[in-house]
Amino acid sequence: MANNRVKFSKDYAFVYYRFEKSRYTDARSGADRHFIGVLEAGHCRIVTRDQVLELSPGDSFYIPLGLSYQSYWDGAIIAFRSYGFLPFPDGAANRYRLQALPPGFTPKFQAVATQKTPDTAALGAFYTVLAEALPYMQTQPEDPAVELLEMARAYLYRHPHCRMAALAKHCAVSQSALYHAFSRNGLPTPNALRQQVQVERAVTLLTTTDLPVGQISDRLGFSSPSYFRKIFKAHTGRSPLQLRSQARIP
């Protein structure tokens, strides 16, 4: 039983949300984790460049890591369970697209405890249900550019201070090939992606902790809090404190 109390906070966030007003989420910078969601009350519309997913109470759904999207939440009461995770069980996370899951999996995911820092028991239950769901999930055509971007994003999320040589080695390409692949497919440079990932991590820390802005800046490897604020505002249009204030859920 002692092992069940071990916490895993870096790669996971299992959270239950409830609020009493319409809500808009701007995730066009890309989802910082994979997410399984279970909508229990209200309605949700998730919009990407080429897809609109409408969700009603009782629906469970999957949002892939790195997906650029906007979500619109409506209802007198909105309640949903959010299971955010980075490690993917089959090593091919980029295969799966934004989608609603078969209804039979909704009660199974609902049974998983929602803890911001899940323990081994919660993770075991979650991955058991996810493994059952994978054969029923819709895949998308393989795209080497997307695969490279997701591989780079996941590595930078874990190692935001890494050098480009280490990133290229992890992606099994040369540094010049890494830059060329990004440029050829209209993607941000690896360094710009690093900043984007740092901002995504900053958003998570700002909305789930009370850490001071200066401490968040140091943790993410920025040279100074003022430079962190500058980069953060360039990516989000808001200061760190403005985002923290606006993201508070009643």
> For 41-64, what is each residue's pLDDT tens digit?
999 999 987 789 999 999 999 999
Phi, psi of 159 (to 5 degrees): -130, 70
pLDDT at 65: 86
Contact 68, 104 (CB under 8 A): no
Average pLDDT over residues 212-230: 91
The pTM (predicted TM-score) of the whole model is 0.58
Round to whole Å and give the CA distance between 239 and 230. Answer: 8
Using CA of residue 248, residue 245, residue 193, residue 171, what is the dihedral sign?
negative
pLDDT at 250: 44
**pLDDT(140) > 70:** yes
> For 91-127, what is each residue's pLDDT tens digit?
666 678 899 999 999 999 999 999 878 888 899 999 9
> For 60-89, what is each residue's pLDDT tens digit?
999 998 888 899 999 999 999 999 998 888
The neighbour count for residue 225, using CB atoms within 10 Å, is 16
Say which residues have a Cβ less than 8 Å from residue 96's Cβ, sequence separation at least 6: 62, 64, 134, 137, 138, 139, 140
Contact 42, 73 (CB under 8 A): yes
pLDDT at 112: 95
